[in-house]
Amino acid sequence: MAKILIIDDDPNICKVLSDILRLKGYICVIAHTAREAIENVKKEEIDLAIIDLKLPDELGINVLKEIKETSPRTEAIILTAYASLPTAIEALDYGAFSYIEKPCKTEHLLNIIKRALERKNLIEEKERAHKALDKAHQELKVLWQLSKEILSKESLAEIINRSYEVVQGLFPDANIFVFLLDAKRENLFPIERLNLPQKIVDGQRLFQPPNDLIDWLSSIDRAIIVEKGTLTALDKFLDPYPFWYAIPILAKSGCVGCFIIAFNKKRYIPKADIIFVNRLLLQIAGPISQAISMEGQIEFLKGHIFGRTSFYGLVGQSRVMQDVYDLIRDVAPTNATVLITGENGTGKELAAMAIHECSTRKDGPFVVANCSAYPSTLLESELFGHERGAFTGAIRTKKGRFELAHKGTIFLDEIGEIPSTTQLLLLRVLQNRCFERVGGERTIEVDVRVIAATNKDLEKEIAAGRFREDLYYRLNVVPIHMPPLREKKEDIPLLCDHFLKKFCKEMGKDIKGFTAQAMKALIDYNWPGNVRELENVIQQMVILAKRDTIDKKLLPTHIANYLKKDISLAEYERELIIKVLKECNWNKHEAARRLKISRSTLYSKMKRYGLET
């Protein structure tokens, strides 16, 4: 009900007017002096003041001025027996709604009062609407900024951490708990793996066992906000808290987790803030879902690694690398000739060094001879040495690599490149451990262990008549195959960390790791240059990195372009089938089970893609 202040020094007028107004349902306050009037305005909220122009202590105009200064929303009507144009203009200038001359008809006065109060209500409503609009605008702005900021984060840990900070900022007195479902949405995501602040991780202990929470999260299919007393499944775990809200993180693909805001004391909680959190989580649910999926893939790969992480300079924890380590360890103590095969950059020389280091010859020399580095005319001299005057430029006797490797190991790299004449000489050395220097007659005997390596398919070279078959079998006493990096992708995170540490140390940088997106990109690339290419890429990324994590923006263009390359559904299906078959050692029954297709479907797909064994 509107409150009207009647300001007049005449008690009779005050009484008559207040009686009329009270009858109309208004609340009336009476002031006979200017001072009294101002005190009333300061003390309580007055909707309308009816002011007499002549007051004993002050002019009515001045009272109007002061009322408008003190309470701008209070409407004012001047009521005077001494009406004049100048005072009327002045009154309207100072914000009076109307200027009425006494005596006036009651109906006329009531009509003006009604209109004045209507205007006041209209203004107030407008102000409220403006405020609400401003607030909504501000909220949207903050939501947009926060979403933008959070979405710029590349790792799940960063996204969760920043979201957590925002929610904690809104409710500083509350305990914020974050729960995420794993990629399969069958279990809670092991949040402790993300290096998040301990307080976030601690929340996981609340729900033990977490089945009820998982069941609830899995069942959510629309944006809802749950509060204490509405869900028994959560109530029993959150019993210590007098009040709480659970806000799901709802992505398009379904619910991926929730934030729980739990209060230790009951207090007024602005609903708008809870709705704000709900909106924020809806905005960032998609990236959270993607990040969980990525973390899942990385963990899947890590789950396929076993045993030793490194072995005499070779880095890798995959099953294939464990087999290589075992083979090296077994063959090293013998004197058997070893043929190491594998693509460029797979670590053939490191494997040869590992054999040498594990052998009884480790105190002897390890001599490397890159057979492709010399023209055929110089290769024999390089391997077996030459006598002074053996050919033009042979100004002194020179020992060859075999002599230098006496009591140690010689590593013949790129053995597939040597010419047939040298192949025959090698055959002799392998058989008798003796040779003559170029231009020499004296037979030199050496005690050397031979390790050869090639990136070529020597059997094809034999078929083409470029490589001696007897030499091949002489060399291939113990074959070791170094797998290409694309066949041991589970080692990529380990190798990345290894090279990151190596180059950080070299360059004096402090880079903590890779974002999940960067790591996924590194895993997805096919690495034709193998570990050596990966090493070069990491070195380049470390050089360019300006932050404490390496993100995918630092990837070289050729890798970024490769990852953008479109892949057809059929290609994807073929690659997936090959991947699963390899993981199952080509056990079709197991592969079909994992792919969730029948065996006959698998067989028909294998036939279609030419994967029959």
Q: Applying CB under 8 A, does 469 fall inside the site for another protein? A: yes
Q: Applying CB under 8 A, does 479 fall inside the site for another protein? A: no
Give the C-alpha separation, 533 to 538, whole Å.
Answer: 9
Q: Applying CB under 8 A, does 474 fall inside the site for another protein? A: yes
**In the complex, minimum distance from the CB of residue 376 to another protein, in angstroms, rounded to a whole number:** 14
Q: Applying CB under 8 A, does 138 fall inside the site for another protein? A: no
Considering beta carbons, is residue 62 or 476 the nearer one to another protein?
476
Phi, psi for 294 (deg, rounded to 5): -65, -45
Positions in 500-519 near another protein (CB under 8 A)? none
* Angle between helix 516-524 and helix 557-564 axes, rounded to 10 deg: 80
Which residue is it, tokens 């590593």? Answer: 411
**In the complex, minimum distance from the CB of residue 400 to another protein, in angstroms, rounded to a whole number:** 16
Q: How far is CA 400 from CA 30, 376, 385, 594, in A?
A: 121, 15, 4, 56
Give the C-alpha separation, 465 to 547, whole Å.
Answer: 55
Residue of 3, 428, 481, 588 interacting with another protein (CB under 8 A): 428
Q: Applying CB under 8 A, does 336 fall inside the site for another protein? A: no
Which residue is it, tokens 């009333």? Answer: 40
Q: Applying CB under 8 A, does 572 fall inside the site for another protein? A: no
Considering beta carbons, is residue 424 or 507 the nearer one to another protein?
424
- The four Cα atoms 180, 181, 187, 189 give a dihedral, to 10 degrees, of -50
Q: Applying CB under 8 A, does 377 fall inside the site for another protein? A: no
Considering beta carbons, is residue 233 or 477 the nearer one to another protein?
477
Give the C-alpha separation, 119 to 532, whole Å.
Answer: 80
Amino acid (1-letter code) at residue 249: I
Give the C-alpha separation, 337 to 30, whole Å.
Answer: 116
- Contact segment (CB under 8 A) with another protein among 43-51, 213-221, 422-430, 492-500 equals 422-430
Give the C-alpha separation, 119 to 317, whole Å.
Answer: 79
**In the complex, minimum distance from the CB of residue 356 to another protein, in angstroms, rounded to a whole number:** 24
Q: Applying CB under 8 A, does 431 fall inside the site for another protein? A: yes
- Contact segment (CB under 8 A) with another protein among 43-51, 323-331, 385-393, 461-469 equals 461-469
# residues near another protein by CB under 8 A: 14
Give the C-alpha separation, 506 to 409, whole Å.
Answer: 30
**In the complex, minimum distance from the CB of residue 469 to another protein, in angstroms, rounded to a whole number:** 4
In the Cβ-directed half-sphere of 133, how many Cα atoms lie within 13 Å? 6
- Contact segment (CB under 8 A) with another protein among 22-30, 217-225, 282-290, 420-428 equals 420-428
- Contact segment (CB under 8 A) with another protein among 271-279, 463-471, 502-510, 602-610 equals 463-471
- Contact segment (CB under 8 A) with another protein among 377-385, 396-404, 418-426, 565-573 equals 418-426
Cis, bond preceding 209 (omega within 30 deg of 0): yes
Phi, psi for 144 (deg, rounded to 5): -65, -45
Q: Applying CB under 8 A, does 424 fall inside the site for another protein? A: yes
**In the complex, minimum distance from the CB of residue 341 to another protein, in angstroms, rounded to a whole number:** 16
**In the complex, minimum distance from the CB of residue 433 to another protein, in angstroms, rounded to a whole number:** 12
Give the C-alpha separation, 71 to 74, whole Å.
Answer: 6
**In the complex, minimum distance from the CB of residue 476 to another protein, in angstroms, rounded to a whole number:** 9
Considering beta carbons, is residue 408 or 416 the nearer one to another protein?
416
Considering beta carbons, is residue 339 or 538 the nearer one to another protein?
339
Q: Applying CB under 8 A, does 462 fall inside the site for another protein? A: yes
Q: How far is CA 498 from CA 313, 377, 431, 445, 462, in A?
A: 11, 41, 41, 42, 39
Give the C-alpha separation, 343 to 318, whole Å.
Answer: 18
**In the complex, minimum distance from the CB of residue 313 to another protein, in angstroms, rounded to a whole number:** 32
Q: Applying CB under 8 A, does 457 fall inside the site for another protein? A: no
Give the C-alpha separation, 325 to 316, whole Å.
Answer: 10
Considering beta carbons, is residue 253 or 443 the nearer one to another protein?
443
Q: Applying CB under 8 A, does 473 fall inside the site for another protein? A: yes
Q: Applying CB under 8 A, does 421 fall inside the site for another protein? A: yes
Q: How far is CA 200 from CA 191, 259, 524, in A?
A: 8, 10, 31
Show the site string, 181-220: x = touches another protein by CB under 8 A, - = not.
----------------------------------------
Contacts of 594 (CB under 8 A, 6+ apart): 580, 583, 584
Considering beta carbons, is residue 200 or 383 the nearer one to another protein?
383
- Contact segment (CB under 8 A) with another protein among 468-476, 480-488, 525-533, 602-610 equals 468-476
- Contact segment (CB under 8 A) with another protein among 330-338, 469-477, 536-544, 582-590 equals 469-477
**In the complex, minimum distance from the CB of residue 383 to another protein, in angstroms, rounded to a whole number:** 15
- Contact segment (CB under 8 A) with another protein among 123-131, 428-436, 490-498, 600-608 equals 428-436
Residue of 44, 470, 506, 571 interacting with another protein (CB under 8 A): 470
Per the CB < 8 A criterion, the answer to whether 175 and 264 are in contact is yes
Secondary element (H or E) of residue 550: strand 549-550
Nearest to 329 by CA among 358, 295, 300: 358
- Strand pairing report for 243-251 and 254-263: antiparallel
- Strand pairing report for 3-7 and 27-31: parallel
* Angle between helix 156-170 and helix 106-151 axes, rounded to 10 deg: 150
Give the C-alpha separation, 181 to 320, whole Å.
Answer: 32
Contact residues for another protein, defined by CB under 8 A: 421, 424-425, 427-428, 431-432, 462, 465, 468-470, 473-474
